[in-house]
């Protein structure tokens, strides 16, 4: 990549060149970290060879303390090796959809949105709502969020699937226990033109007035965009921005990402068919359950990791589930 970056033709496509330079900078950082570990290990070994076990006890104690910290740092860095997928370095596009269950599921989708927003704050990731459809009474029907940061998709891909909530419904006068579902879709952010070529003739573009939540901020002009990719039937909408041009740009970004993900899934299915272990992502295949009544427990059904600290999890403390799943997947691939 370094040789490619000094080619005179490298910057002809500036968007693609910038994307590659971002990847190269990340790779150089990783190499530098591991080389640093190796240098520290060599220095410690040299000091151990020169040290006198009887007279240099203070030095040996210092080396021991540094070795413990080094071991911890290496273990933390080893986790980044699970983020070695083709698109793991990219930003992520997260789409949450309320399942069957009416207002309870819409409220659950809203709770998940808040959970992921707070997780982004913890990680220092950017979090931008690209499109949202509010529920009539409460919560949201669906929301599309762009999560920006180093290895955002590598982390967020662990959250793809059905999330199940069990609780006493705040919307039920009888205070009955309800089970709600929400689907999380996670795809790497792609750019139309740089990553995916889209034929304009394949698109049907509809323009309409954006509708606000609860009668608020309703646009008088037709700024909302609905783009239908006719060969695949994929429909993307965006109405969050005030200008039609901005909404179209965001919608095309989401469409490019969905088309790239569709092609990836097609290849994955072909490989899975050959292996004979393909499992469909249906509503019954929930990846995680969040139980708030009659007891408190969050359990990931893929790794069996569980915790009773439900408030902390819903407040964005989900790294334990993400790390466990990515490590589990890495073991499966081996």
Residue range 294-317, pLDDT digits in tens? 999 999 999 999 999 999 999 999
pLDDT for the residue 172 = 82
pLDDT for the residue 241 = 73
Map out the domains of the chain as residue ranges: 2-82, 92-189+285-333, 200-274
- The confidence band for 283, taking pLDDT boundaries of 50, 70 and 90, is low
- Separation between Cα atoms, residue 161 and residue 280, nearest integer Å: 11
- The confidence band for 56, taking pLDDT boundaries of 50, 70 and 90, is confident
Q: What is the CATH number that goes with domain 200-274?
A: 3.30.160.20
pTM exceeding 0.85: no
pLDDT for the residue 282 = 45
Token pair belonging to 133: 């459809």
Looking at the DSSP bridge assignments, the partners of residue 162 are 183, 286
- Separation between Cα atoms, residue 158 and residue 301, nearest integer Å: 12
Across the range 140-164, mean pLDDT stands at 93
pLDDT for the residue 280 = 40
Q: Top-level CATH class of 92-189+285-333?
A: alpha beta
Most confident listed range (50-54, 86-90, 125-129): 125-129
- Separation between Cα atoms, residue 142 and residue 113, nearest integer Å: 10
Q: What own/partner pairs with CB < 8 Å and gap ≥ 24 does 36-42 have?
A: 37/70, 37/73, 37/74, 37/77, 40/66, 40/70, 41/70
Across the range 83-112, mean pLDDT stands at 90
Question: Where do we find the tokens 């997928």?
Answer: 85
User: Does residue 320 carry a pLDDT above 70?
Assistant: yes
Residue of higher predicted confidence among 126 and 223: 126
* 3-class DSSP state of 1: coil
- The confidence band for 145, taking pLDDT boundaries of 50, 70 and 90, is very high
Token pair belonging to 176: 């009955």
Across the range 164-174, mean pLDDT stands at 89
pLDDT for the residue 324 = 93
- Separation between Cα atoms, residue 283 and residue 317, nearest integer Å: 24
pLDDT for the residue 192 = 60
């Amino acid at each position: 990549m370094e040789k490619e970056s000094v080619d005179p033709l490298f910057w002809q496509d500036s968007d693609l060149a910038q994307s590659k330079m971002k990847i190269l900078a990340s790779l150089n950082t990783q190499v530098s970290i591991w080389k640093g570990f190796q240098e520290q290990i060599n220095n410690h070994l040299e000091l151990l060879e020169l040290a006198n076990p009887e007279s240099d006890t203070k030095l040996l104690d210092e080396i021991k303390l540094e070795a413990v910290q080094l071991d911890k740092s290496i273990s933390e860095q080893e986790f980044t090796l699970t983020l070695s997928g083709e698109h793991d370095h990219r930003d992520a596009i997260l789409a949450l959809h309320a399942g069957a269950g009416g207002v309870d599921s819409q409220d659950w989708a809203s709770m998940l949105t808040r959970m992921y927003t707070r997780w982004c704050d913890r990680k220092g990731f950017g979090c931008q709502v690209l499109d949202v459809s509010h529920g009539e009474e409460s919560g949201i029907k669906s929301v599309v969020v762009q999560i920006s940061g180093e290895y955002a998709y590598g982390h967020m891909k662990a959250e793809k699937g059905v999330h199940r909530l069990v609780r006493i419904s705040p919307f039920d006068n009888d205070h009955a226990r309800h089970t709600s579902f929400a689907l999380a879709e996670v795809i790497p952010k792609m750019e139309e033109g740089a990553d995916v070529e889209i034929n304009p003739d394949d698109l049907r573009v509809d323009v309409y007035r954006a509708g606000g939540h609860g009668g608020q901020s309703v646009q008088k002009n037709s700024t909302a965009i609905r783009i239908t990719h006719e060969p695949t039937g994929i429909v993307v909408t965006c109405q969050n921005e005030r200008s039609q041009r901005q909404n179209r740009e965001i919608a095309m970004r989401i469409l490019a990402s969905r088309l790239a993900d569709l092609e990836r899934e097609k290849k994955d299915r072909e490989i899975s068919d050959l292996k004979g272990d393909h499992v469909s992502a249906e509503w019954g295949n929930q990846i995680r359950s969040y139980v708030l009544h009659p007891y408190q427990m969050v359990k990931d059904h893929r790794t069996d990791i569980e915790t009773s600290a439900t408030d902390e999890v819903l407040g964005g403390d989900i790294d334990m589930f993400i790390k466990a799943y990515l490590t589990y997947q890495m073991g499966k691939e081996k």
